[in-house]
Amino acid sequence: MTRENVSVLGSTGSIGVNTLDVIDRNRDQFRIVALTANRNVEKLAEQCARFDARVAVIANSALEQDLAVALGRHGARAEVMSGEAGLKEAAGMADTDIVMAAIVGAAGLNSAFEAARRGKKILLANKESLVIAGEVFIAEARKNRARILPVDSEHNAIFQALPQGFENGLEDAGVEKIILTASGGPFRELPADQFASVTPEQACNHPNWSMGRKISVDSATLMNKGLEVIEARWLFNAHPEQIEVLVHPQSIVHSMVSYRDGSVLAQMGTPDMRTPIAYSLAWPRRIEAGVDRLNLAQMNDLSFEKPDLDRFPCLAIAFEAMRAGGSAPVTLNASNEVAVDAFLSGKIGFNQISALVRDVMERVSVTAVKSLDDVLAQDGQARSEAQQWVEKFNG
């Protein structure tokens, strides 16, 4: 069996590390060719040595020399590249078969897009790419016969529960609804009057999943589910009315598809990202992922409830952005990224995340998005509006 070559964009993050763990268990089937990180040269160099990567990319170009030194210290022979050009190189290299897109935020768009342009098999964790550039991204992937395999656990579950050929239309496949499950996050039961005093540490302490800080805050505000609704719309070519969200605190059912004949297909598993990562890596095969098995006999409670949109306004705003279409999701995502950053660095409180996003959404007008440039321009404008909001709040 020939091994497939994998580039991991964002290898030092939570998804990146889990990806390397799955690949480590299946070295007879996969080989690492390129790894990338934003700033953590030490971890990147150690990973390059362990997997004998050929290319190491540090997004922050000022750290190129530091990376070369660290690689030497670890006895790694990877070639050093940096910046956006380096990330795109890692995504588009001729001998790369599979690209794991696991950079966080809109910063991951250009490199993920490059993978689409080069017709790669794209394992998409970076949901923000699809949220802001969905239509353009999917069109580019189709044009170049790039396959997008969703890594986000909900979308991976839906992908597993859909028949082949669903891209041609959910109606044809007999699908009535896509049901995304949400854990509800760490504040699922917190009364609204206590939200103001929530700290970044509490927000990042997710009950079921261990993840990077940005997505952890998004899970606490339920913006993560909002982004996922928009992600699902593009991935599965779904109408906004076909997508529903249910809170499922146990995080065992990772999502469901409801069919015309009354059938509901669910995918279940322990909350461990190595399952969706393994499935997307080896699809349509199944490989060992190192994941604990579900103990069904000990499971006596699987519950589902409607999300509370009053306490979690971010989810409602995201649904509005999806229905508005055009550049609205770009503004949603950019303002949220600025807000989450500001919250994590103590400049605004937890309640101000949704307030900021709502205000910026009202201020920035919705335009058509027809190209990657349109996306990036709109992203820049929304970001500067959001920055001003933060400055005003602090001034």
Copy the structure tokens of residue 192: 């609204």
Radius of gyration from C-alpha coordinates of the chain: 20
Which region, judged by CB under 5 A, interacts with Mg ion, from 5-13, 144-152, 245-253, 359-367? 144-152
- Choices 100-108, 135-143, 160-168, 239-247; region in contact with ligand NAD by CB under 6 A: 100-108
Q: Is residue 152 close enough to count as binding Mg ion by CB under 5 A?
A: yes
Q: Does 104 bind ligand NAD (CB under 6 A)?
A: yes
Q: Which of 5, 6, 7, 15 binds ligand NAD (CB under 6 A)?
A: 15
Figure out which of the listed residues 5, 6, 7, 12 binds ligand NAD, where binding follows CB under 6 A. 12
Query: Using the rule CB under 6 A, is 341 a contact of ligand NAD?
Result: no
Number of chain residues interacting with ligand NAD (CB under 6 A): 26
**Which residues make Cβ contacts (< 8 Å) with residue 155, sequence separation at least 6?**
228, 231, 232, 235, 236, 255
- The stretches of the chain forming alpha helices (DSSP H) are 14-25, 41-51, 64-74, 83-92, 109-117, 127-143, 153-161, 200-203, 213-221, 223-235, 274-282, 313-324, 328-344, 350-363, 372-394
Q: Which residue has the tokens 């550049």?
A: 327
The two three-digit tokens of residue 12, written as one number: 């030092």
CB of 185 to Mg ion, least distance (A): 11
Smallest separation, CB 33 to Mg ion (Å): 27
Strands 253-259 and 147-150: unpaired
**Which of 52-60, 145-153, 237-245, 262-270 is the region at the interface with Mg ion (rule: CB under 5 A)?**
145-153
> Measured from the CB of residue 352, what is the shortest distance to ligand NAD in angstroms?
21
Q: Which of 64, 140, 152, 337 binds ligand NAD (CB under 6 A)?
A: 152
- 275 contact partners, CB below 8 Å, separation of at least 6: 153, 156, 269, 289, 291
Point out which span in 12-20, 281-289, 308-316, 339-347 binds ligand NAD (CB under 6 A): 12-20
What's the min distance (Å) between Cβ of 395 and Mg ion? Answer: 36
How many CB atoms neighbour CB 390 within 10 A? 19
Helix (H, G, I), strand (E, B) or coil at 8: strand
Q: C-alpha angle 321/309/182, rounded to 5°?
A: 85
Q: Which stretch binds ligand NAD (CB under 6 A): 34-42, 114-122, 190-198, 255-263?
A: 34-42
Residues 6+ apart with CB under 8 A from 241: none
Binding site for Mg ion (CB under 5 A): 152-154
Binding site for ligand NAD (CB under 6 A): 10-16, 37-38, 40, 59, 102-104, 107, 125-128, 152, 209, 211-212, 214-215, 273
